[in-house]
Structure 1
């Protein structure tokens, strides 16, 4: 939404003239190669013309994400390797493919099917950083390796936390208390302690594993093994939304902590007097003009915005909103009335100091 409003990122792909000028200028002024990463259009031929325009402008390496700009979040869907293949055949510069890369086999298959010179992975690599090595290690092993790198090359703690949320995604679905702890810790040592606790819990899960037992929840491996994360489709996402709405309705109907969401239960623990019963929530009276909540002490029964307009128009006061137009005007007039008036200088008469000299005789005499 931010990129759409700001008209940048993938939403800039409609401005071909602007993009051409930008890349041409960068190619002329920079001493390093100019690379571009694009999303595709629904039409293959338009995508090909788009790529050729970028090549002509000076792009020297092109990465093609095989999804349209509308394919985001639950609407991501499957990336089109057909678009990528067509671009690869139509340009002379190196082309990298992006999309549908979840394991090393996907890398090999993508190169074989599209003929690209390289492959880029985003989420697949975040959930399994060993993806390009063709292995799926235990999640705590890569976490420990990553934390060692962070100690050598410090970075903001938010970056570390974000990486571990991706790496531990499936394990945190099982051990949700660790998710809360990871979200709350404020130091790298605290994160390392969470990592150690996660390792111990995973090893306990392994010791309890029964012979012949298979992963649950549609996972390829057990939760303690690095593996891809597959986003739920639109239908599954809508089902989750319906479930959340029905759960909220049940909470509001019964008002019991037994049916409260985990988030609300945590709030209840922090503040035992907090209530989620909608019947006990304060009811706000509406503004007489716009329908927003009115000020409880407004003399006009309006919200602050409407009250300010009316008080200014009528030169009135509303102490409830701190608007004192009438009072300020009265003070201003009183101050002006108290100032001494400047006396007008009296015209001096002839013969007096400062006056005209007396005329003796006739001018014509």
Structure 2
């Protein structure tokens, strides 16, 4: 990192609003993004050891954080090496956000409100980027935290298509009390295959119109991108998510051998444990390009259940790549035709063009649907997955026919009267009978009442 000098146009700004960034965050420029199930403690330490100045925790759900003590303990796992640190929450209620933030503030340097998550789960939960039209609510959330917390409140946003609206959005958050803003230069709709290129011009427009420190997010795949982004936007620093996942040494400006950096991560996992699903996710991303070549190992990585097993598979990946590495030393061009670097080095993953024809795997799924039965409706993805695991099991869709009660409702399948529940209830009361199908026990209740009645009369007589 020493080889590259980073400078933003506002570095010499002595405005009071920059004090938090200058003093507490120590002028952090190279930032690891908050990533659900991916920016856990072990990964943060690995990233810091390879050049990162500042890390965010994964996004935590404020309501769960408030009510679940074990969730809080796992979420707040940290250590001395893990500073400065910002804890991020998603929320849609000012009071709940404040309660969650109060639990976290002793363990971090700031609280961040996630207003950038574009995923469908955020839409269903009504948080992240799906709050970006509700400015009154956001103003209340940010201002309450700014007033009541001992640490600053920061925000991470996505842009609108309209630059002016994006600037007004940022200014509203600044006025509400946001002390640092991260701007992801993509809209809410730019995700998955439609991710596309982040707009640095949107980011620059925000930087030119707010007085608080700002990080730029988007298009950071190699270290030179950091300098280009800061010069183009004027941001105080840059944030990387995917670039960091595929190369945790991105900010160090190197492209390490995948099994070496992966093994370093596994050593940290033994020191700072985390769920195996997180670990496998990281290993798959680090080794992404290598496992596209050595496909036989891919499934074994997916089925591995221990850290020791993953370490052994990394050794096997190394062995499988030795011949190619030797050939590369004689003719380097042979292994850089499709990728910028040989597949055994960490490098970015570039998504396929969304306009490109669908892959053959999609065709395979459709073929399975046709083979099942031409007259049946296609199976769901879940059932197709089950079918691949259990090829002899029948997953054909069966048409269900329901008989109707005389009132028009559906009959209960196990009703002794062959009626719907409403009609059955009347019938059992009239006949003082039980219906096991609808779990109505009038006969039993009547017998208990009769047995109880003489005792009650006897007590009355004695009194």
Following superposition, which runs of at least 4 residues in structure 1 exceed 6 angstroms of deviation?
262-266, 343-346
The correspondence for 2:309, drawn from 190, 203, 207, is 190
Alignment gaps of 5+ in structure 2: 1-119, 375-383
Residue aligning to 2:345: 225
Change (3 A) 1:332 1:76: same
Change (3 A) 1:300 1:126: farther
1:275 aligns with 2:388: no
Aligned residue runs from structure 1 range 21-170, under 5 A: 21-170=140-289
Q: 2-side partners of 1:152 and 1:338: how far apart?
A: 67
Q: 2-side partners of 1:65 and 1:250: how far apart?
A: 43
Residue aligning to 1:213: 334
Instruction: Find the residue that maps to 2:269 and give its secondary structure.
Output: helix
- Structure 1 position 86, deviation (Å): 0.3
Residue aligning to 1:172: 291
Instruction: Find the residue that maps to 1:55 and give its secondary structure.
Output: helix
Instruction: Find the residue that maps to 2:157 and give its secondary structure.
Output: strand
1:6 aligns with 2:125: yes
Instruction: Find the residue that maps to 1:246 and give its secondary structure.
Output: helix
Change (3 A) 1:186 1:335: same
Change (3 A) 1:241 1:286: farther
State how many pairs are aligned: 322
Which structure ranks higher in relative contact order (CA pairs < 8 Å, sequence separation ≥ 6)? 2
Change (3 A) 1:310 1:41: farther
Change (3 A) 1:253 1:192: same
Alignment gaps of 5+ in structure 1: 255-261, 269-273, 347-365
| Higher Rg of the two aligned structures | 1
Once the two structures are superposed, residues 300-324 of structure 1 have per-residue CA deviations (whole angstroms, 9 ceiling, x without a partner) of: 999xxx95455446548765xx434
* TM-score (normalizing by structure 2): 0.61
Once the two structures are superposed, residues 312-352 of structure 1 have per-residue CA deviations (whole angstroms, 9 ceiling, x without a partner) of: 46548765xx4343xx2233334444566548999xxxxxx
Q: 1-side partners of 2:460 and 2:136: how far apart?
A: 73
- Structure 1 position 120, deviation (Å): 0.4
